[in-house]
Structure 1
Amino acid sequence: MEIRQLQYFMEVANREHFTEAADALHVAQSAVSRQVSNLERELGVDLFIREGRRVKLTPIGKMFLQRINKAMNVIEDATREVEEYLDPEKGTVRVAFPISLAAYTLPTAISAFRLSYPDAKFQLKQALYHDLIEGVIKGEFNMALIGPVPMEEKKIKRKILFTEDVVALLPIHHPLADKSHLHLRDLKDDPFVLLPEGFVFRDIVINACSKLGFKPNIAFEGDDIDALKGLVSAGLGVTLMPEVTLVDSTPRATVKIPLVEPTVTRTVGVITPTDRELLPTEELFYQFIQDFFARLSHFND
């Protein structure tokens, strides 16, 4: 079994098409077909169901792909580890993040890190909450910023970096727009705009409302934070969002108002795997962001 065979197999599996895989690999289709056939012959199983020009993984092929993805990540990490031990300040940090930390939190941390380590490189991946956790566990990446920090999962190590307030965002002409603070119950009759199901921050909002005995009337859904801001700006509803997403500016035609009784907060932190060590450059970044956000918290206090 050769690395090249596995790379060709993975490309075909991901694209479900030999010709497209060959184009992506910049080799002849016959070479890809031959290597995959050799791999199937060596394993003694069919990895693909052929359907004309397209292919689909067999059940054993799906299992094999999962294992090979992990194996290739280990090989890649091993190669990078050797390179980074020679010069960790010039290595690569693979870090994943949720959409709510994309605009300010992660870029701010990376910018500060690059001031000390200007030659460090980053591979960034945006993912949903549960995919961040699974990605760290399965080895797709070694580190993820996340909010809220999952406290029950046993296969990850966690470090809370800070706790942030969740605030209300209202259209500027809303009857409560001139208030200095809001009770969440004040919004129980308003239409809400929220992220779709699958986003954990949606659950935070719904749970906060449920504790006060009401279910938010979800009038609109937006796929990202910017979409929610736009819907509120258009006067189509109210929303709650992490204060960090409004740190640079409040969207046009909206007002940001703190919540009291109850206050709504979420933890933001970093998760890493329990069964793997961080690579040298990743370890530099991991230690850096802990110090960085500790200093920020002290300054804000």
Structure 2
Amino acid sequence: MELRQLKYFIEVAQREHVSEAAEHLHVAQSAISRQIANLEDELGVHLFEREGRNVKLTAIGKIFLTHSLTIMKAVDIAVEQIDAYLDPDRGSIKIGFPTSLASHLLPTVLSAFKEKHPQIAFQLRQGSYSFLIEAVKSREIDLAFLGPVPADDLTIQGKILFTERILALMPSNHILAERRSLRLRDLRNDSFVLFPKGYILQKIAYDACKQEGFLPNISSEGEDLDAIKGLVSAGMGVTLLPESTFYETVPKFTVKIPIENPVINRTVGVIIPKNRELPPSVHTFYKFVIEFFSILEKYQ
């Protein structure tokens, strides 16, 4: 079995058309047909069945496709790591991040790193809390910025970079808008604007309210920070957001107020896999991030 055969097989399986696969791969159609026939002879099964001019995977073909994709992904990762070891200053780093860290933390770190390592490239992937953790485990990304940092996953190594407070954001005409601080229970009769269920910031807000003896009345939901802030600005309710999400400005027609009781914090950090060695370029970036925030903390 050859990697070329797997490559041809995957292309035909995904396009369901031999001639289109041949055109995309810039090889003769007969060459693809021959290699797939050799692969089927070696396996002793039929991987495709014809449907007019198209081809469809057989039941065993679908199973083989899943394993073939895994094999090719592993080969791609191996080649990337070899390239990184041969030239650490020209590697490529796959970084994951959530929406709450996209506006300030990520650009700040990446721009500072690029000044020292201009030849290292980045591939960025935004995702939910659970997706980023699983993507690090499956090697889909090399590392991820997260908040809060998971503490109970034995396959993940988390490094806390800083801790920040969760603040209340409310319309500027809210009855409590003039307060310098407030208790979370003061908002028990308000409508809340939160992320949908499954988002970590929704869980943080929901759990904090529950611990104070009430469940938030969720009137509206938004899937990104701009949507959440916009709904609050429009008077649809109040919300709870990390302090770093207000780094540049507070949205128009809103005010942010610290919560003094209880104080709600979240850790923010970076996670890497615990059970495998990082490629040199990724290790360089990981060390840089830790040192960067260590220096930043001293100045603050």
Q: Above 0.5 in TM-score? A: yes
Residue matched to 2:241: 241
Report if the CA contact (8 A) 2:22-2:29 is conserved.
Answer: no
**What is the CA distance between 1:135 and its match in structure 2?**
1.2
Q: Which runs of structure 2 are paired with 1:249-268 in the superposition (5 Å)?
A: 249-268=249-268
Q: Count the aligned residue pairs.
A: 298
Residue matched to 1:184: 184
**What is the CA distance between 1:82 and its match in structure 2?**
2.7
* Cα distance in 1, alignment partners of residues 83 and 246 from structure 2: 39
1:256 maps to amino acid: K
SS for the counterpart of 1:235 is: coil
Residue matched to 2:128: 128
1:275 maps to amino acid: N
1:272 aligns with 2:233: no
Please give the TM-score of this superposition, normalised by the length of structure 2: 0.87
* Cα distance in 2, alignment partners of residues 51 and 188 from structure 1: 61
Moved more, 72-81 or 209-218: 72-81
1:285 aligns with 2:270: no
**What is the CA distance between 1:10 and its match in structure 2?**
4.5
Residue matched to 2:83: 83
1:22 aligns with 2:28: no
* Cα distance in 2, alignment partners of residues 112 and 80 from structure 1: 24
CA offsets, 1:174-220, max 9 Å, x none?
Answer: 11111111211111111111111221111111001000011001101
Moved more, 25-34 or 233-242: 25-34
* Cα distance in 2, alignment partners of residues 286 and 172 from structure 1: 41
CA offsets, 1:226-261, max 9 Å, x none?
Answer: 110110111111111111111111111111111111
Please give the TM-score of this superposition, normalised by the length of structure 1: 0.87
* Cα distance in 2, alignment partners of residues 21 and 274 from structure 1: 42
1:216 maps to amino acid: P
1:156 aligns with 2:156: yes
CA offsets, 1:120-147, max 9 Å, x none?
Answer: 1001111211111111111212211111
Relative distance call for 1:204 and 1:83 in structure 2 (3 A) is: same
Q: Which runs of structure 2 are paired with 1:166-181 in the superposition (5 Å)?
A: 166-181=166-181
Relative distance call for 1:288 and 1:212 in structure 2 (3 A) is: same
* Structure 2 gap ranges (5+): none
Residue matched to 1:61: 62
1:61 maps to amino acid: K
* Cα distance in 2, alignment partners of residues 150 and 76 from structure 1: 28
Report if the CA contact (8 A) 2:48-2:55 is conserved.
Answer: no
The alignment's C-alpha RMSD in Å is 2.9
1:197 maps to amino acid: K
* Cα distance in 2, alignment partners of residues 275 and 260 from structure 1: 40
CA offsets, 1:2-33, max 9 Å, x none?
Answer: 333434454566x5754897399455795797
* Cα distance in 1, alignment partners of residues 250 and 51 from structure 2: 52
* Cα distance in 1, alignment partners of residues 200 and 266 from structure 2: 11
1:214 maps to amino acid: F
**What is the CA distance between 1:156 and its match in structure 2?**
1.5
* Cα distance in 1, alignment partners of residues 245 and 81 from structure 2: 34
SS for the counterpart of 1:177 is: coil
**What is the CA distance between 1:91 and its match in structure 2?**
1.3
Relative distance call for 1:19 and 1:116 in structure 2 (3 A) is: same
SS for the counterpart of 2:169 is: strand
Report if the CA contact (8 A) 1:16-1:55 is conserved.
Answer: no
